[in-house]
A and B are shown apart, each in its own frame.
Chain A
Amino acid sequence: MFDNFPLWPQRASTMAGNVDALYIFLLIVSGMMILLIFTAVIFFSARFRHRRGVPAEQIEGSTPLELIWSVIPFVVFMVIFLWGAIVYFKGRTPPRDATEVYVVAKQWMWKLEHAEGQREINELHVPVDRDVKLIMTSQDVIHSFFVPAFRMKQDVLPGRYTVAWFRATKPGSYHLFCTQYCGTQHSGMIGNVIVMEPAQYEAWMSGGVTGPLSATGEKIFAELGCATCHRSDSQGRGPNLQGVFGRPVDLADGRTVTADENYLRECILDPGAKRVKGFQPIMPTFQGLVSEEQVNALVAYVKSLSPAGKSGAAPGPAVAVPVRAAGRAVSKGSQVQ
């Protein structure tokens, strides 16, 4: 009935319930406030309307009242704040073993690449009931990845990764919008997130795969000659990349950083900025030499070299392991039903 007149967005992720609950709480709180104020205003202005010979009664004010209506709202606000913060933390913290999808936004399309190697444009196929982590970057301006049904939004910035995640709960096709104004066809930069039953998803996944993203990355790694320095023993002129992802790294300037996706990305594009302690600054920059997709593949490859990066569907040592290791685990789960 409300096909053309929706009053509430579809609810299709684990976050949706959390956000809706807080939203409903806010609706109730503000509904009560509105009721209180509107009733008071209407009642006072009717009850105390001007009558000849009845002067207004002057009231200076009341400090206790002022305190009451400062402190009570403040307490309510703090409840909202804390609740909001908790929901936000959940939305900002991807689970460890999430399936990874690399997102490259450009004017005006979404390019999505699954860790397993499938590439899509403006469409993202995901299985139901599985955590999906989006590792996103932009080729040009700022975009924003928004799926109303998932109550999930994250700006996609050029020059770095931003991360978002969701866990779809209901099969179906959902709007994907760009919500950060990005130029002429901003409103055309839309797509669909298609949530599938695990079995269907398996079937979809098996079509037209070129190999996992990390394998592509390994190929690029070899083509660019990275392996001559980044050797898997400790004899190379560059750091050994085995097991680097997710670990703290000591830098030449004394700082320590965690080797996350953004760090790996920065090392490829601006190797001098955060050089690893004990190594010479000999690595050339690859800025302009590799595309965003190639950087993603390289990052996926380096991640696959360490246990922290092997989570989810990102397969371990590339090529060797069958493509959909984690996918099978879920499909087993669904077979039990």
Chain B
Amino acid sequence: MSEHSSSSLVTYVGIWAALIVGTILTYFAAQIDLGPFNAAVALTIATTKALLVALFFMHLKGASERLLKLVVISTLFFLLILLALSMADYSTRAWS
């Protein structure tokens, strides 16, 4: 509990600034032609931002228990399963 002192306020504002920078970065990165990497860059920035929100704003980083992290990781695992196994079908439909 004591870790949530006023120093955490500084952290919050720092994270907020990083998120704003990330948004601006995404917006301008989309205007440049990076070939096939446009989507990758956009998603990488989005994931970084999401991680920052989860770790600092949602206090996942300071969570004393591993349980909450386990909940997040297993949820993402099952989401990945949904996307990956569906794509496994769509990307290999051709068959003679």
Using a CB–CB cutoff of 8 Å, the interface residues on chain A facing chain B are 92-93, 257-258, 260
Contacting residues, chain A, for B95 (C-beta < 8 A): 92-93
- Total of A-B residue pairs, C-beta within 8 Å: 8
Kindly supply a per-residue 1/0 record for chain B positions 56-96, scoring 1 wherever the CB is within 8 Å of any chain A CB and 0 otherwise.
00000000000000000000000000000000000000111
Consensus secondary structure, chain B interface? loop
Contacting residues, chain A, for B96 (C-beta < 8 A): 93, 258, 260
Number of chain B residues close to chain A: CB under 8 A:
3
Closest beta carbon of chain B to A159's beta carbon, Å? 13
Closest Cβ neighbor of A258 among chain B residues: B94
Docked CA distance A257–B94 (Å) = 9
Contacting residues, chain A, for B94 (C-beta < 8 A): 257-258, 260
A-B contact pairs, 8 of them (CB 8 A): A92-B95, A93-B95, A93-B96, A257-B94, A258-B94, A258-B96, A260-B94, A260-B96
Docked CA distance A260–B94 (Å) = 9
Docked CA distance A258–B95 (Å) = 10
CB-CB nearest 4 A-B residue pairs = A260-B96, A258-B94, A92-B95, A258-B96
Contacting residues, chain B, for A92 (C-beta < 8 A): 95
Docked CA distance A93–B96 (Å) = 6
Closest Cβ neighbor of A94 among chain B residues: B96
Docked CA distance A93–B94 (Å) = 12
Docked CA distance A71–B95 (Å) = 33
Closest beta carbon of chain B to A156's beta carbon, Å? 16
